[in-house]
Amino acid sequence: MTTESITTDQAKAPVDTGRGLLLTMLLMVLLGVAGMYLVSL
């Protein structure tokens, strides 16, 4: 029981950080695509 509670508590934090990383990666990809589009023009 204790191990399960610890894992669940630890699993909640990485989700928020993972979402932040995904958002930053999406922004970087969008910027990269926009840059490539501008260069191709």
Stated pTM of the model: 0.53
For tokens 């979402």, what's the residue?
19
Mean pLDDT of the chain: 80
The secondary structure of residue 41, as a DSSP letter, is -
- Picking from 26, 36, 29, 10, the residue whose alpha carbon sits closest to that of residue 2 is 10
Select the more confidently predicted residue: 36 or 2.
Answer: 36
- pLDDT class for 24, splitting at 50, 70, 90? very high
Cα–Cα distance between 4 and 1 in angstroms, integer? Answer: 5
What amino acid occupies position 33?
A: V
Q: What is the pLDDT of residue 17?
A: 78
Query: Which burial class, exposed, middle or buried, applies to 13 when counting CB atoms under 10 A from its CB (0-12, 13-18, 19+)?
Result: exposed
